[in-house]
């Protein structure tokens, strides 16, 4: 049984791994609380795994063959590489023998080692540096690494399209993880953001200082990352002498203008009920 973190308020407790550790940590009372919790965790884990097995195309022959591109499987997945070459034979050079290349590739001691977590694309770059040795293999791998399935397929991997949408399909991993965590929390509590963060008294209710601090910090971090990205982009453009096309600039300006109009409409929509509330409060006085 893996370690689990039980969060309560600002603190957290590490759930021990055995029943003896439960008893020594908090006695029978802690045992009565933790055992049902671990049962729920195990049930949720199994339910999620079963759902993913049904939802995702894990048994796809194409995905199985593509998984052979993992450098960690070199020498162990030659059969899948041969199957992959059969799927893409119409894209490979007709005058080359890829079967012989695959056998030579699986036993090549001159290729660098690969550790889990490293970039697979960078590792294959070392293979691409040997075009005379692996011409057909290089062509096949380049085709596989450049596969694009489109946003519709990408959105189907999201649970009921709650996380990935048109706006969140192009963002960094940290932002995506934050959105996923927030949406999962709201959905598990069957609430939307407005009632979840709502205060009973908007004027005199206590303000969540931590929430405000996190919002300001996130906004500052996002602006800083945007500035760094913009500077890097400008450096690349000046280095290669490229410029943003007029159509791209026009689209960007049009999008910014539409967002500005949407914000103004939203502000006007919120202002009217606020004024009505103030008028009613004034009449009561």
In whole angstroms, how far apart are CA 161 and each of 99, 157, 184?
Answer: 42, 8, 12
Q: Taking the model in full, what pTM does it have?
A: 0.41
Predicted confidence at residue 204, as pLDDT, reads 82
Predicted confidence at residue 10, as pLDDT, reads 37
Predicted confidence at residue 16, as pLDDT, reads 45
Predicted confidence at residue 124, as pLDDT, reads 92
Which residues in the chain land under pLDDT 70? 1-28, 30-31, 148-173, 242-249, 285
Predicted confidence at residue 170, as pLDDT, reads 61
CB 137 within 8 A of CB 98: yes
């Amino acid at each position: 049984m893996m370690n689990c973190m039980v969060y309560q308020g600002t603190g957290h407790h590490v759930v021990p791994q055995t029943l003896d550790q439960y008893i020594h940590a908090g006695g029978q009372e802690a045992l009565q609380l933790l055992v049902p919790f671990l049962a729920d965790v195990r049930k949720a884990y199994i339910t999620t795994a079963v759902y993913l097995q049904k939802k995702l195309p894990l048994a796809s022959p194409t995905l199985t063959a593509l998984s052979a591109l993992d450098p960690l499987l070199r020498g162990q997945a030659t059969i899948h590489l041969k199957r992959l070459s059969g799927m893409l034979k119409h894209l490979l050079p007709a005058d080359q023998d890829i079967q012989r290349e695959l056998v030579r590739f699986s036993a090549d001691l001159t290729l660098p080692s690969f550790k889990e977590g490293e970039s697979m694309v960078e590792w294959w770059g070392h293979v691409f540096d040997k075009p005379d040795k692996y011409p057909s293999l290089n062509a096949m791998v380049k085709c596989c690494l450049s596969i694009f399935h489109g946003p519709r397929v990408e959105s189907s991997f999201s649970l009921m399209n709650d996380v990935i949408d048109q706006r969140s399909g192009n963002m960094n991993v940290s932002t995506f993880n934050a959105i996923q965590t927030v949406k999962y929390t709201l959905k598990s509590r069957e609430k939307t953001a407005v009632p979840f963060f709502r205060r009973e008294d908007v004027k005199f209710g206590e303000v969540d200082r931590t929430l405000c601090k996190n919002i300001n910090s996130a906004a500052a971090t996002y602006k800083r990352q945007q500035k760094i990205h913009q500077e890097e982009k400008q450096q690349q453009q000046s280095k290669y002498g490229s410029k943003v096309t007029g159509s791209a600039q026009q689209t960007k300006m049009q999008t910014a203008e539409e967002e500005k109009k949407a914000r103004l409409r939203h502000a006007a929509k919120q202002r009217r009920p606020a004024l009505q509330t103030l008028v009613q409060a004034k009449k009561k006085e």
